[in-house]
Structure formats: structure tokens, C-alpha cells
Amino acid sequence: MAALATASAAALGGVALLSWRWSRPQSMEDVPARMKRLVLVEANKDIAQARLEVEEVDTPKPRKGQVLIKVAAAPVNPSDDGVWKVPPKKGYPLALGNEGSGKVVASGGGLLASRLLGKNVAFAVTGVPTYAEYAVAKAEIIPRIFTLPPGLPAEDGCAFFVNPFTVVGIVETIKEQGGKAFIHTAAASQLGQMMVKYCKCEGITLVNLVRRQEQVALLQGLGAEHIVNTGESDWQAKLARLIADLKIKYAFDAIAGEMPGNLLTMLPPGSTVWVYGVLSKDPVGNIQSLDLIYRGKKIEGFLLLSWIMKDGMLKGFLRFTRTANKVRKHIKGVFASEFRETTLAGMHADYCSASSMTGVKMRVRPHGG
């Protein structure tokens, strides 16, 4: 009995010591007092004329329940430049970046925060800018910080959220409609390449629309079966045959302009086209009224956050977690990205000159790389 009591006391002492240690702030390395970050100082509808600057600020310190992440990389998504066009409601400067990855180098204390210390993580937290050398984020039960798989360099997990989550959301939306095939535009993009690979895993037939012959070859190399080059004069006839042969009723469009209307016209009655991007920078048009009124066709918008939260907070949390687990499982394969490196100082100029790049995502390396 005495031995049992001694062992129990030792175990309780160990738990108490661990709890005390986790409750206190911890740091793995020396963190500089000042850091650099990229900010918007003047918006402009012409993004090339917007003014972005690198500024030096105090490095944030994590409070209890928070972690300090040394940012390894942060992607530049096509949707990110929207904030460059409109003056921010809270005034300038506006710190930039929506998602990123890095290493947790300090904890403000608390169980959830301390367990992340030393881990490579991906994160996307509202109000936490990622084009910065360091970022502070809260470790929560409903996570916005995810540990990366062993062996994956921290910088390669930077595009964990926006593109992979969108791919999963689109495919799940098709499945919810009972669909087994759909059309996807801008298919040679980084997201489009992920879509090709993910649809093969999920048993969904995909018709890919691209603009150039080299993009056809790119997708063929990934195993894409159905590819239509809209740069060819007979592309609509080719697409119409595929729609009939594969009995397609759904399409997801990232271009806007006349493309959604063109797709809606070619699709059969009862079809739906979702618009989730505006790569053309033109409003949606060329929609035939009779398609909407008499043929039961629909055109809808698709927003990732709305898809996640469409059934309320609890189901949204479960959907987010399931999606994150899928992405984590396939981050080295299906959802792997090819990146072009840039710096905090060079990002704006590099982004504005990169419109012709096919299937390569830009990422900011705040500490160089």
C-alpha cells in the first residue's frame, strides 16, 4: 500500500509539474524586438498603382492561449488583391496576408498553445496578417492552426487552406447535388491542377476548360481525360458533345464575364453554374432570360466560408475539421503546390508582372529563402 501511495503521489506530482509548465509562457529561441511586415498604404482600383510598403513594427508577444509563429511562407492567392483596390474601413496602414505557415517558436501559456510549441503549422486566422516575419494567433478548441505532417518543410504548407479547401468544397457541392461530372474553367491554374487530381481520387468526371495548347499538355500530364481548349474556334461544339455524352448538368467558373452565360446556354434544363472567381475582371453577363425562366437553369455564387458554415456553427466546425483532415492527408500529393518565391519588398511588383504564369502560385518568404 505504501508503495502504491508513493507511486500515486509521484504521478500526481508529475501531472502538477507538467500543468505548471504548460501554464507558463515558453520560448524556443530568441525573438527580435522588431519585425518587418507588408502593408497597404494607398488603395487603387488599378492594383499596379496601389502602394504597398514594408514597415518595421514591434514583434507581437503572445498572451495566454496564444502562440507566436515564425512565418516561413505565405501564399498570394488571386483573391488577395481585392483589398488593394478599396480604402480600408479602419484606415491605413493595412497589414496584409490571409494564410501562411511556419514554426511555433513561443507560447503565451495554456494547454492548447503549449502543445504546439516547436511544431510546424499552417494557419489562417481572421485578423492575423501573414505577410510578416512573425504572427500571433490563438490556439482554440475549434482550430485555425493545424500541425503539418512530419517531413513536410514548413514553407510547403503555406497554401493549406484557400485552394485545397475550395477544391474539396466544390467537389462536395457537386456530390450533394447527386452529380457525377462537372465542368471547371481556368483548369490549368494551381487550383485547377489540384482539382484534376482530387476528382480522380473521388471518382468524379471532370471536364477541364483551358485557353492554350501548352495548358492542355500540362493537364494531360496529370492524367486529365477531358480537356477543351477555348482558344480553338470549335471549342463550344466540342464542349457541347461532352455535355451530351457525359450528361453534365453542373459547372464551376472562375472567370466570370461571358463565360458563365456561355456555359449556362450549353447546359441542359435544370442545370446550375456556380461562379467563384472573377479572373476576367468583368461582370457576369450573356445570360439568356429564357434559360432562367422556362428551363429551370440557375447561376449562383460560391464562397468557401459560406459553404463551410451553411448549416450553422456546429456542423460548420465539423465540416471544417473533416476538410482539414483531408487536406492534411493529401498535402504532399493531391494538394501539393508549385511555388514561385518572392519577398516582402518584391511581392507587389512580382505579382503585377505574373499574369501570364500558368499553374504556379507565388509565395512570400518573409525571412528570405
Give domain limits for the chain. 24-159+339-364, 162-307
User: What is the dihedral angle through the alpha carbons of 127, 72, 50, 253, rounded to the nearest 10 degrees?
Assistant: -80
Instruction: Tell whether omega for the bond before 366 is within 30 degrees of 0, i.e. cis.
Output: no
Name the DSSP letter for residue 59. P
As to burial, measured by CB atoms within 10 angstroms (0-12 exposed, 13-18 middle, 19+ buried), residue 331 is: buried
Residues 73 and 154 sit within 8 Å (Cβ to Cβ)? yes
Which of helix, strand or coil describes residue 102? strand
The β-bridge partners of 181 are: 205
Strand, coil or helix: 358: coil
24-159+339-364 and 162-307: same fold?
A: no
pTM score, whole prediction: 0.87
- Supply the DSSP symbol for 27: E
Per-residue pLDDT for 284 more than 70? Answer: yes
pLDDT at 81: 87
Place of cell 458554415: 309
What does the alpha-carbon distance between residue 294 and residue 313 come to, in Å, rounded to a whole number? Answer: 36
Q: Which CATH number describes the domain made up of 162-307? A: 3.40.50.720
- Angle, helix 235-246 to helix 259-266, in steps of 10 degrees: 50
CB of 146 within 8 A of CB of 328?
Answer: yes
Residue 12 binned pLDDT confidence (cut-offs 50, 70, 90): very low
CB 76 within 8 A of CB 97: no
Which position has the grid cell 425562366? 293
Q: What is the pLDDT of residues 51-68, one digit of tens each?
A: 999 999 999 999 999 999
Q: Considering the chain, what percentage of its residues have pLDDT values greater than 90?
A: 84
What does DSSP assign to residue 134?
E
From 48, 109, 96, 101, select the one nearest 74 (Cα to Cα): 101
The pLDDT value recorded for residue 9 is 46
Work out the average pLDDT over 273-302: 96
CA distances from 164 to 38, 160, 337 (A): 25, 6, 10
pLDDT of residue 114: 94
Look at residue 21 and tell me whether its pLDDT is greater than 70: no
Mean pLDDT of 322-343: 94
Which CATH class name applies to 24-159+339-364? Answer: alpha beta
- The pLDDT of residue 27: 84
Rounded CA separation 115/125 (Å): 18
| Predicted local distance difference test score (pLDDT) of residue 359 | 65
- pLDDT tops 80 at residue 4: no
Pick from 122, 156, 179: which is nearest to 325 by CA? Answer: 122
pLDDT digits (tens, 9 = 90+) for 224-267: 999 999 999 999 999 999 999 999 999 999 999 999 999 999 99
pLDDT at 2: 55
Q: What is the pLDDT of residues 173-223, one digit of tens each?
A: 999 999 999 999 999 999 999 999 999 999 999 999 999 999 999 999 999
pLDDT at 28 over 90: no
Longest dimension (CA), the chain: 89
Mean pLDDT, the chain, rounded, equals 92
Which H/E stretch holds residue 5? Answer: helix 2-23
pLDDT over threshold 80, residue 360: no
User: For the residues 99-106, what does the mean pLDDT come to?
Assistant: 98
**pLDDT tens digits, 74-97:** 999 877 888 999 999 999 999 999
The span from the CA of 161 to the CA of 178, in Å, is 26
Higher-pLDDT residue of 281 and 40 is: 40
Best CA proximity match to 43, nearest among 100, 90, 78, 77 = 90
- The DSSP secondary-structure symbol of 90 reads T
Q: What is the mean pLDDT of residues 271-285?
A: 96
pLDDT in tens, 125-163: 989 999 999 999 999 876 789 999 999 999 999 999 999
